[in-house]
Amino acid sequence: MEQALQQLRQDAEARVAAARDAAALRQVEIEYLGRGDGKLTVLLAGLPGLPLEQRKSAGQLANEVKAAIITRLNERRATFGQAESDLDVTQPGIAPQVGHRHLVTQAIDEITAIFERIGFQRSRHSEVDWEHYAFAALNMPADHPARDEWETFFVDAEPHSKLGRRVLTPHTSNGQVREMEQRRLPIRMVNIGKCYRRQIDVSHVPMFYQFEGLVVDEGITMAHLVGTLDYFAKAFFGPDRKIRIRPYHFQFTEPSIEIDINCAVCGGRGQLADGKICRLCKQGWLELGGAGMVHPNVLKAGKVDPKKYSGFAFGWGVERCFLMKSGLQIPDIRMLYENDLRFLQQF
């Protein structure tokens, strides 16, 4: 048996050396190592008939012979190049997975582009900021009850002697006075950033995005504000959608308004096809955000003379705007952040 194995090894190695191409190598491989009637396989079929001692040593030798033949085959194959040996060039390719920007990022880019078309500049302001910029500079002095609405996360850090405590920005309005401090007039900014509030339900997430518009110039009026919002709504949601403006109160604007849009999920009916109430808007309209004419105290906080200049501002939620796009039927804002690829890949 052992002799036969040695012989087989010599023959196989000679054949490998003589092979002229990958196909010939494959032939040798099948002839010697083939599972069914390869020469080594056939030889080993005789093993069980041997006495135990011989069986052991012959088995061991057979393994060595096999390993040696495989090594030779591989060495020789490498000299012919991989492509020829085992790459089937007629096989269809494996397409790599193609990702895309997250839906919210797409919305941010679209919003930016819409405002850039009418002369706004994208800016970015701190997402962790002082209480001063988030509240006091916006006409909400310390302990003013209006602050409660912002369900703010305070950062456990040493307060600033003048600017107060650190907060995770509860709205992008902190960018208003920061922008006034940094830039020359006139201002046409759109500040898009993350906001944080202690809230979570079908239409709220604790981390979300807002876009904050601010225009400060001579002779700015409410008509400029309404014209700008109407332009945005038509560009982003489609010409056939409706927005409505309601009087409201914000400390940092006077007069102040809130803007609603007819709901994209229930078509503005407030109930779904099955008669159930629309969980997202509940009444046909969904609030997108607030706006108004910049309060003189806010201009003063930004060292802008309110006798000479006036301005308007608005702050809307990015995710909410995205949910309200025509044709989308996303019934819960939290789905945007569950990172379920089956959901995200649809866009």
Exactly one of 292, 310, 318, 322 binds ligand DAH (CB under 6 A); which one? 292
Whole-angstrom Cα distance, residue 4 to residue 170? 84
Is 164 a residue that touches ligand DAH (CB under 6 A)? no
| Nearest distance from C-beta of residue 146 to ligand DAH, angstroms | 11
Neighbours of 131 (CB within 10 A): 21
- Alpha carbon dihedral 278, 283, 286, 289, in 10-degree steps, equals -140
**Runs of H (alpha helix) within the chain:** 2-18, 22-33, 39-44, 52-80, 82-86, 103-116, 131-134, 174-182, 222-237, 296-301, 318-323, 341-344
CB of 278 to ligand DAH, least distance (A): 22
Any idea which residue has 């945005």 for tokens?
232
Residue 291 binding ligand DAH, by CB under 6 A: yes
* Closer residue to ligand DAH (CB): 242 or 249: 249
Total interface residues for ligand DAH by CB under 6 A: 12
Q: Which is nearer to ligand DAH, 73 or 175 (CB)?
A: 175
Does 135 contact ligand DAH by CB under 6 A? no
* CB of 269 vs ligand DAH, minimal distance in Å: 26
Task: Candidates 47-55, 265-273, 286-294, 322-330: pick the segment binding ligand DAH (CB under 6 A).
Answer: 286-294
Cβ-based burial of 291 (10 A; exposed 0-12, middle 13-18, buried ≥19): buried
Residue in the block written with tokens 């495989």: 70
Per CB under 6 A, 315 contacts ligand DAH: yes
Phi-psi region at 333: left, alpha or beta (left = phi > 0; alpha = psi -120 to 50): alpha
Q: Which positions from 239 to 258 touch ligand DAH by CB under 6 A, shown as an x/- string?
A: -----------x--x-----
Residue 299 in the binding site for ligand DAH (CB under 6 A): no
Binding site for ligand DAH (CB under 6 A): 171, 173, 212, 250, 253, 289-292, 313-315
